[in-house]
Structure 1
Amino acid sequence: MDPLVHSFKTDISNIELPSQFNYPFYYQPHELAVLAAQQLQAYLEQQYQWFVANGTQEAGKMFGVLVVQDEKRNLGFLAGFSGKLGGETTQEHFVPPVYQLERVDQFFKQETDKLDAVTKQIAALENDPVNIQLIADYNAKAIAQTESLEREQERIKAIKRERRRLLKREKAVMETEAFKSFEARQRQLSLNNNFFLKEYEVYLEDKIATLKNQFESLQLELENLRSKRRKGSLWLQDWLFDEYNFLNARKETQNVKELFKNRIPDVPPAGTGDCAAPKMLQYAYAQNLKPITMAEFWYGPSPASKVRSHGNFYPACRSKCEPVLEFMLQGLDVEDNPLLENPAVDKELDIIFEDEHMLAVHKPAEFLSVAGKSITDSVQTRMKAKYPNATGPMIVHRLDMSTSGILLVAKTMEAYHHLQQQFLKRTVEKRYVAVLNGHLEKESGFIDLPLRVDLDNRPCQLVDFEFGKSARTRFEVIERNDHKTKVHFFPITGRTHQLRVHAAHVDGLNAPIVGDDLYGTTDSRLHLHAEQIIFEHPLSRKRITLNVPAPFDFTA
């Protein structure tokens, strides 16, 4: 058998094969994929050069397993990794990259060596003590010049203000002809001041002209080198994409640039085709192996930004892999995309409060707050159908589709604006109840982790202290058992997936919410419920408190 097709070390004779290949962007791993992943993880545990301090691979990484069947119907599995492992694109035990290694690696190394040489030139210029001193001297002189000019401008402005007051006083006491002469002299003095200011600005510029020329010359040299590196990198990436020709189950071939041609953006993101899934499928098709089922898992430490737990299974990334896998899976019998199925069918919205201005509903889990791209059934569409004479958007705030709980709905535009302002000013008090996978030691606390969307894997969010939006949550422990913790969450801000990320992230509570299929592991449902809300009624201005108990239990 092919040395890269690994035999199962456990008896799999009684395991039934899946009837369809799993949809890679939302799946429960098949038993065969779980066994393959466990076997691969056991192999990784024996590779002492990786995932240790000062090793060749310290950071965690996404790995994949693809269960395959050969022409004699023998089962085995392929193993793959995303990107590089230990700084290399190829490693023993794992499938190779999609492109032709012999042709690409030598040329790619030559070109990357050129780019590395440019990077070294940039670093040499930036770290040169003479240049460091030049930049410091110029910045100090430029700041001093600006401050001197601003002081002189303020002095002349003060003189002008005093001159206007003087003209006003003298006009009241002087004869007309005498005042005209006086006013002309003052106007000339003002022109003299303006001329002096321009001359002073030229004088200050001349003082640092030599230093400025040296500084600008250095900046131009650095920018030219950075531009050269940037253009070279883009050219090399484009050249490399010409080598990414993917196969599908029908043995058809398509280049990666063609796969992205009619998408936005129409250029493949860097790293497209280097994930585990396309590499494993490419190898299977090339070796006449039939894909049976696939799974990807994270191994090693969690990254600083994303929520990744050691050993957990994750779906394929969308921005890089969706166009590629849509093509590569053609010819296979693949499960339907469950995300296109309406999960709210046969679910009802219970009205827990209503008057002529507004109402509040209990939204079940797996029910959209507003219509999505593929599924239109939502709280918003049902409310508009139920109240055709209502004005305004109606939905004042949102809950994640998987989160159950109280949702406020406005019947009039006036009520909508009043309620919306309360959310914007954060005067609405919200309390969520959640069950976490993990034992929290602290009784209460505060989480402050800024969030932004993961551009490679929407709708997931990631922690980003540079570009993320402020996201703050207070929590209190209600109850514990050996494996789980029940908590109250009090969100101060209302970012997408805020409570889910704050619970799961290693710098948050490091305990994902039970049933979180994005940041933890799946269960019967997401155990997160918006159980209480306190707000001001849009007409009476009275504070109203609404409660709906959580529809899930806290059990061991």
Structure 2
Amino acid sequence: MSNFGNSFFHTLENKQGIALPQKFTFPFYYEPHPLSLLAAEQLQQYLVTQNDFEHNFGLNPKQKGLIIGKMFGVMVVKNTKNELGYLAAFSGKLADSNHIKGFVPTVYNTLNEAGFYKKGEAELNTINNEIEILEEAQIYKKAQENVLNNKIAFAEELEQLKEEIKAAKRDRNKLRDDAKNTMSAEAYMVFVETLSQQSIGYQIRLKHFKIEGEQRIQKAEAHLNGLNQPIQKLKTKRANLSASLQKRIHEQYRFLNSEGNTKDLLTIFKDTTALVPPAGSGECAAPKLFQYAYENDLKPICMAEFWWGASPKSEVRKHQQFYPSCRSKCEPILGHMMQGLLVDENPIEAQIIFNQALDIVYEDDHLLLVNKPHEFLSVPGKNINESVLSRMKAYLPNATGPLLLHRLDMSTSGLLLVAKSNRVYKHLQKQFIERSIKKRYIALLDGVLPNTEGSINLPLRVDLDNRPQQLVCYTHGKPATTNYQVITIENGKTRVYFYPITGRTHQLRVHAAHSEGLKTPIMGDDLYGTKANRLHLHAESITFMHPITKEVLTVRCEVPF
């Protein structure tokens, strides 16, 4: 691998005679083709031994600097001489650079010192410095303090005056009551008028106080606004320049497809739900690989992307493991770039065929429990109607209410609770809300756990760049707790009970796989681990109070793995 940096096209030594795939990889859900594995292995050998750049991936505890793991991509291609090779790319920047020898270039180099972006960035930095100088000036800070102090003083003095007026009113009321019994009618009338004039005097005093206080505040605010005007002009200038730069950058990112057609980022994203390109669009490995292949008459054969480095604190990423392309940024771009290519079908959109009747584990006049098969939807999807809910609607045509009390991931099998009436549904829903319903899952983990039991507390939120995957997020995540207990160790795998205290999306899968969780993904987890014949996760048991009989029921169903 010493010649890695001499070319972007790296010869692929296919000594095993691996057959080429008939279709290109569907990048959002795939198992790496053997040729992609071979290319990735060669690239990883280079990453282990290279001295061409310095970047702290977090793999060497002695290395200093910020730890940043990276997604790398390989694309197996054929050149015009029918020679087989591969291209390599990284997502974002590597070693603070867009250009590293041997890796295909970025579609547009924002780090080019002579380019408009760096010049615009320098102008933005100048504006930022000017704003900071004005905002840090003593005269500006004193003006801010003066406005604040005037508002605080006015509020305090106003409250004191109102208390004084209330006390005076109480005194007048007492004097009025006492005077009734001691004064003549004529003297009493004069006295009441005197008290009334005192009340009017206080109201006039309050009115003038408010006017004077508000005038002081307005004067202080006018002084601050005068100082603020040049700051706001600079901020408007900064916003306009930033928007203009962003638009120009999006226009510079022009992507080819196999038919030779070109689209920029703005055109690609205008018809998506995002409308505008998310930050970093076009900087992932996959678009770079396609762009270089098309520009250099290289035929894409297959591709794969893998993580290199320490696991991040948010995403589930494991060193050397393969992952799909991100959806929010790459899906619209690659959707354009793969036009004209013969690509593997999207297995997620394939129509699910399950010809058997659903296994009903328990049923009475009020509810039932069904054993959902793996790779079968709980509720209809975007393009697929076949689901437990659609089957239950057909099975229970006279039922009322929403029927399904909860859901399971498509890949998870096991018990789902179904209510036959709205009344029963509401009773059971209340138990779910109060967390009095107890569920137990059985999972087979891809490794051996050091502890026999424990609890995982990792808050979760959706990965906005890669739905439906979840992230661990201590700032915006919802609390998520899972208790676990080891059942057996089987040939280097761990069979466990999972007891979810909360019910977040993908909770058990993330808690198992994450570096701050069990660090051991569930067998067959194609999102957070490695794909197998199925996801080895099964909702095996549920305990709840029957809404009608008030009996506590525990229902179990057999584990299929």
Scaled to the shorter chain, the TM-score interval is 0.7 to 0.9
The 1:163–1:542 alpha-carbon spacing in structure 2 relative to 1, beyond 3 Å, is farther
For residues 112-511 of structure 1, the aligned pairs below 5 Å read 112-122=121-131, 128=136, 130=138, 141=149, 144-145=152-153, 148=156, 151-152=159-160, 155=163, 159=167, 162=170, 192-197=201-206, 199-200=208-209, 224-480=233-489, 483-511=492-520
Name 2:31's counterpart in structure 1.
28
CA positional deviation for 1:238: 0.8
Give the unaligned 5+ runs of structure 1: none
* Stretch deviating more after TM superposition (463-472 or 361-370): 463-472
Larger mean CA deviation between 236-245 and 191-200 belongs to 191-200
Contact 1:476 1:487 in 2 (8 A): yes
Output the amino acid matched with 1:259: I
8 Å CA contact 1:299, 1:311 repeated in 2: yes
1:5 paired residue number: 9
CA distance in 1 between counterparts of 2:226 and 2:238 reads 18
Alignment partner of 1:18 out of 21, 38, 47: 21
Q: Is the alpha carbon distance of 1:264 and 1:181 closer, same or farther for their aligned partners in structure 2, counting shifts above 3 Å?
A: farther
CA distance in 2 between partners of 1:160 and 1:12 (Å): 101
Structure 1 match to 2:55: 50
Change (3 A) 1:208 1:483: farther
| Runs of 5+ consecutive residues of structure 2 not aligned to the other structure | none
Deviations 1:274-316 (A, max 9, x none): 1110110111011111000000111112222211111111111
Q: Give the aligned residue type for 2:420.
A: K
Distance 1:27 1:232 in 2: 41
1:473-525 CA-to-partner distances (Å, cap 9, x unmatched) read 22333334574333322222211112212222222222222211111111121
Shift of 1:548: 1.8
Cα distance in 2 for residues equivalent to 1:415 and 1:245: 57
Which piece of structure 1 moves more, 472-481 or 152-161? Answer: 152-161
2 CA distance for matches of 1:370 and 1:43? 46
Amino acid corresponding to residue 465 of structure 1 in structure 2: Y
After TM superposition, the score normalised by the length of structure 1 is 0.87
| Separation of aligned partners in 2, 1:157 and 1:535 | 62
Q: Deviations over 1:36-75 (max 9, x none)?
A: 1121122222346112577677311111000001122211
User: 1:548 corresponds to which residue?
Assistant: 557
* Greater alpha carbon shift after TM alignment, 304-313 vs 116-125: 116-125
TM-score (normalised: structure 2): 0.87
Query: Which deviates more from structure 2 when the two are superposed, residues 360-369 or residues 428-437?
Result: 428-437
Q: Secondary structure at the match of 2:424?
A: helix
SS at match of 2:468: coil
Secondary structure of the equivalent of 1:239? Answer: helix
The change in CA–CA distance for 1:296 and 1:155 in structure 2 (over 3 A counts) is same
The Cα of 1:132 is off from its aligned counterpart by 10
Q: For residues 153 and 542 of structure 1, what CA distance do their matches in structure 2 show?
A: 65
2: distance between equivalents of 1:504 and 1:157?
67
SS at match of 1:65: strand
Q: CA deviation at 1:539?
A: 1.8
Equivalent residue in structure 2 for 1:88, among 92, 97, 113: 97
Shift of residue 440, structure 1, vs aligned partner: 2.7
Deviations 1:335-380 (A, max 9, x none): 1111111345235421112122211111111111111101111111
Structure 2 distance, partners of 1:165, 1:84, is 78
Count of residue pairs the alignment pairs up: 550
Q: Which whole-Å deviations, capped at 9, do the CAs of 1:55-113 have from their partners, x for residues lacking one?
A: 67731111100000112221110001111111212211111112378999622211111
Which whole-Å CA distance do the structure 2 matches of 1:350 and 1:168 have between them? 85
Tell me if the contact between 2:143 and 2:220 (Cα under 8 Å) persists in the aligned partners: no
Shift of 1:437: 2.6
Q: Distance in 2 between matches of 1:84 and 1:169?
A: 84
Q: State the SS of the aligned residue for 1:295.
A: strand
Q: How many Å apart are 1:383 and its aligned residue? A: 0.3
TM-aligned CA deviation for residue 387 of structure 1: 0.9
Distance change (3 Å), C-alpha of 1:62 and 1:444: same
| SS of match in other structure, 1:313 | coil
Across the aligned residues of Structure 1 and Structure 2, the Cα RMSD in angstroms comes to: 3.6
- Find the aligned partners of 1:183 and 1:364 in 2 and give their Cα distance: 87
SS of the counterpart of 1:508? coil
Q: What letter is aligned with 1:99?
A: Y
Please identify, of 414-423 and 227-236, the stretch whose mean Cα deviation from structure 2 is larger: 227-236
Separation in 2 of the partners of 1:359 and 1:441? 38
**TM-fit CA distance, 1:317:** 0.9
Query: What is the 5 A alignment of 1:61-72?
Result: 61-72=70-81
Deviations 1:246-287 (A, max 9, x none): 111122222222222222222122221111101101110111
| Alpha-carbon distance between aligned partners in 2 of 1:139 and 1:398, rounded to the nearest angstrom | 55
**Counterparts of 1:159 and 1:535, CA distance in 2:** 61
Moved more, 473-482 or 86-95: 473-482
Structure 1 range deviating more: 483-492 or 200-209: 200-209
Q: Is the 8 A contact 2:99 2:106 kept in 1?
A: yes
SS in 1 for 2:559: coil
2:97–2:111 Cα contact (<8 Å) kept: no
Q: Does 1:111 align with 2:120?
A: yes
Q: SS at 1:314's partner residue?
A: coil
1:41 to 33, 41, 44: 44
Corresponding letter in the other structure for 1:432:
Y
Q: Is the contact between residue 98 and residue 111 of structure 2 (CA under 8 Å) also seen in structure 1?
A: no
Looking at structure 1, the residues matched to 140 and 457 of structure 2 have their Cα atoms a distance apart, in angstroms, of: 36
Structure 1 residues 67 and 541, CA gap change in structure 2 (3 angstroms): same
Determine helix, strand or coil for the equivalent of 2:332. Answer: helix
Q: For 1:15 and 1:351, locate their aligned partners in 2 and report how far apart those are by CA, in whole Å.
A: 46
Amino acid at match of 2:26: Y
Quickly say closer, same or farther: Cα 1:512–1:130, change in 2 above 3 A.
farther
Identity %: 45
Closer, same or farther: CA 372–170 of 1 in aligned 2, 3 Å: farther
Q: Give the direction of change, closer, same or farther, for the CA distance of 1:11–1:219 in structure 2 (3 Å limit).
A: same
